Structure 1
């Protein structure tokens, strides 16, 4: 980066956004934090009003911006695919109209050509729609991002904490490659305003490929100092039944739970490590990511 860049972060109060804004500022960027309630914003950066479904508000938020981060989705809505598609199309068009030079999007892993879940299919569609206006899009595809406040991580933590034993469906044997939120943010910052990152898709993940069952076991061992939650696998437990089960034992709502579970039968493994050529550094192991997530929770005065 040869000069100070003006950057917009949508979803600035979210799980990723609230970590990304201060990291971008530390890296030397001038950051606008987009929110629908700027008067209530207490984080880093300059708060600005914006709503991804309102083109007029986006025009003001994006004016003069060089790099725009798109970190919003409607996973908690039944019609999230339609909403996400329309919002991405609007954002990409307005960004092109005002001269944005790069859009950065955090998408989802999943092999091309696979039968993707609605959640992953939507993430893939958004990648294309953001670039329809002509702005180069940098996509970082991730599986589960492990960190305090992340929905997928919260499912893991609460299951380990709340259940003495678990009846689990077959998708716990699906392989995935979780990434620490610290690494996800590091990669997001690292691609900002880099010519070699524009118009490219990168895959990000931690150093280990794990099944969901192995993730639950490691999280249990870290949280309890060695205890594992007994797991009993059953052959049939549909996404709908699984989502109701999750709603009973966690505070994740049924709609969000079902949309996430739909994706858990798809392997999400990194097959291309070229991100490390653009943003060097070794990613954190899963156990360390879990320790950091639990440590941050404790630091905020909450129990693990």
Structure 2
């Protein structure tokens, strides 16, 4: 039975990935900051990305490492870099020292646009860490916005859309891509079957090759609710003013803000399309959950029991 080490196991993606690994018959060693009880196939390692001893324990005996952990909020670049870049370096240094054969970095589509935000720059820096240290048999995935049960970012937007209101923070003529967490997990499982896939980076999306425009998303929601959806474009000047104020407040209170000037840059970027061709050819993987299907089946994006 193969053993897989997972960081970010208690986060949105990791909490879907680990049960899928169990069902697929893998043994899992997972990193956690809180005390958790082991199950039959999941062994929890207490620690964080700054704990080299915990990372050594995490990867000892593992055949593959899947690095999902990362920071999506922060009040300065150093906060993002410490987790996304330096944390990645420490994980893969531990993996190399323990002889782990195959490594997967879950990066972000934002990494291809590092000038936009601290987050994007730190994700590109994480990828660069792998180049700088000559990590063997490493693969990089660059998913776009990921949604599904457990997501806290896109769910409020879906709920509003299906009530007939769609606030638009993105570029009015922009195009974006998304992927459902279940499809992303299936891509990871496909990689585990063929871990010597190559470095990539591999982009992946839900099958909408040309992405979505905001009017297209509004039309999908209108069809699902069988009624009109009112689009409410948010002025860029307002978003930027709110972002600056939010960042100043966060720095005063010690919070980790979500809306920052960099996040507005990401939202207003006009082209977040990507291409599934390379990963589909390399892994024989295809997405199955389109945005239209997800909107039609609320169980695909709402938490169980809602």
Match of 2:64 among 64, 67, 92: 67
Q: Which residue of 1 aligns with 2:250?
A: none
Query: How well do the aligned residues superpose, as a CA RMSD in angstroms?
Result: 3.1
Distance 1:162 1:118, change over 3 A: farther
Match of 1:288 among 269, 288, 293: 293
Taking structure 1 as the reference length, the TM-score comes to 0.81
Q: Does 1:157 find its partner at 2:162? A: no
C-alpha contact 2:160 2:166 (8 A) present in aligned 1:
no
Equivalences for residues 1-304 of structure 1 within 5 A: 4-39=1-36, 45-79=42-76, 80-83=79-82, 84-110=84-110, 112=112, 115-130=115-130, 132=133, 134-160=135-161, 164=165, 166=167, 168-169=168-169, 171-192=171-192, 194-208=194-208, 209-212=211-214, 214-215=216-217, 218-219=220-221, 221-222=223-224, 224-232=225-233, 234=235, 236-241=237-242, 255-258=257-260, 260-266=263-269, 267-271=271-275, 273-283=277-287, 284-292=289-297, 294-296=298-300, 300-302=304-306
Spell out, residue by residue over 1:173-197, the C-alpha distance to the aligned partner (whole angstroms, 9 max, x if none): 3211111211111111111252541
Distance of 2:243 and 2:63 partners within structure 1: 43
CA drift of 1:297 comes to 5.8
| Higher alpha-carbon deviation: 230-239 or 142-151 | 230-239
C-alpha contact 2:8 2:14 (8 A) present in aligned 1:
yes
What SS class does the counterpart of residue 190 from structure 1 fall into? helix
Number of aligned residue pairs: give it: 289
Distance of 2:258 and 2:205 partners within structure 1: 23
Distance of 2:182 and 2:243 partners within structure 1: 29
Distance 1:27 1:39, change over 3 A: closer
C-alpha contact 2:33 2:48 (8 A) present in aligned 1:
yes
What SS class does the counterpart of residue 231 from structure 1 fall into? strand
C-alpha contact 1:176 1:210 (8 A) present in aligned 2:
yes
CA drift of 1:138 comes to 0.9
Distance 1:144 1:6, change over 3 A: same
C-alpha contact 2:75 2:256 (8 A) present in aligned 1:
no
C-alpha contact 2:45 2:58 (8 A) present in aligned 1:
yes
CA drift of 1:99 comes to 1.0
Q: Can you give the 5+ residue segments of structure 2 that lack an aligned partner in the other structure?
A: 247-254
Distance of 2:52 and 2:193 partners within structure 1: 24
Taking structure 2 as the reference length, the TM-score comes to 0.80
What SS class does the counterpart of residue 287 from structure 1 fall into? helix
C-alpha contact 2:155 2:301 (8 A) present in aligned 1:
no
What SS class does the counterpart of residue 154 from structure 2 fall into? helix
Spell out, residue by residue over 1:205-252, the C-alpha distance to the aligned partner (whole angstroms, 9 max, x if none): 012211245335534653x3433133245353344526879xxxxxxx
CA drift of 1:169 comes to 4.7
Distance 1:42 1:147, change over 3 A: farther
Distance of 2:193 and 2:275 partners within structure 1: 25
